[in-house]
Amino acid sequence: MGYFVNHFQLFLLIMVRLNAMIVIAPFFSSDVIPYRLKAILSFLISLVLFPLVTSKEFTAMPGNMGEYGLLIFGNVAIGLYIGFLVSIVFSAFQLAGQFFAVQIGFGINEVIDPMAQVSVPLIGQLKNLVGILVFLAINGHHMMLTAISRSFDLAPLISFHKAAAGGLLNYLVYSFSGMFVVALKISLPVVATVFMLEVAMGVLAKAAPQMNIMMLGFPFKIMVAFTVLLLTAPLIVRIMQVSLERSFRFLSNVLVHWPT
């Protein structure tokens, strides 16, 4: 007990970083999980990490509240950064649904996403739920906790200087560009099929102007889009799995080259 009391400041930093990750990370940040359960989970995981972290060499804790407040701010930034880099992938899943939801007339059909508490297209919500299942299937929640554990070795503190901020900004820009690439890969089969169908309907409208192609083609587009979506479901799941695995490898690379 005395050892825990003497190192309580370090325990608080561990729990702050873990809480920051839970606030924004996929699955952990869901409002479906009660806040009390999140707090208990964070406390218990911090207790497990505490002896592992304190067994390594650490510099002495600062003796004033100002410097310790900066340490807390730095650990919050690390936790948020780790969770945010992975949550970008799930934004790509929702964006993929947005790409072709508008094409088939489902853009107006929106539901509340329980994970992010925002309105998203119905197809985007479907992609997000499939992404969560893939995330759990590849033990993504374990990988997130492993990343937090490794971060205490690779990123003990954050340096608030211009070069560090520029390096972290480059990682963010790369992540956002990758989000659009993943979204395009997932939505491309449906978007390309619907586009060719629109071209065919335009030609048909010219050939038979007396037919109401718009009203006839609307249910046909929905049927074709969902058929293509069903046929390409294994491919979409594979793309999601590869994207999540790459995001964790990218996260490991970020931690290794974390600016100190």
Q: Domain residues of the chain, as ranges? A: 2-256
Task: Name residue 39's amino acid.
Answer: A
pLDDT of residue 156: 59
Task: Report the Cα 166 to chain-centroid distance in Å.
Answer: 22
- Position 165 confidence tier, pLDDT thresholds 50, 70, 90: low
Is the confidence at residue 94, as pLDDT, over 60? yes
Q: How many CB atoms within 10 Å of residue 197?
A: 18
Measured distance CA(213)–CA(188) in Å, rounded: 24
Measured distance CA(40)–CA(28) in Å, rounded: 12
Query: Average pLDDT over the chain, rounded to whole?
Result: 75
Phi-psi region of 155 (alpha: psi -120 to 50; beta: other; left: phi over 0): beta
Over residues 25-75, the pLDDT tens digits come to 888 877 777 888 888 888 888 888 877 777 665 556 666 777 777 778 878
pLDDT of residue 112: 54
Q: What is the pTM of this model?
A: 0.74
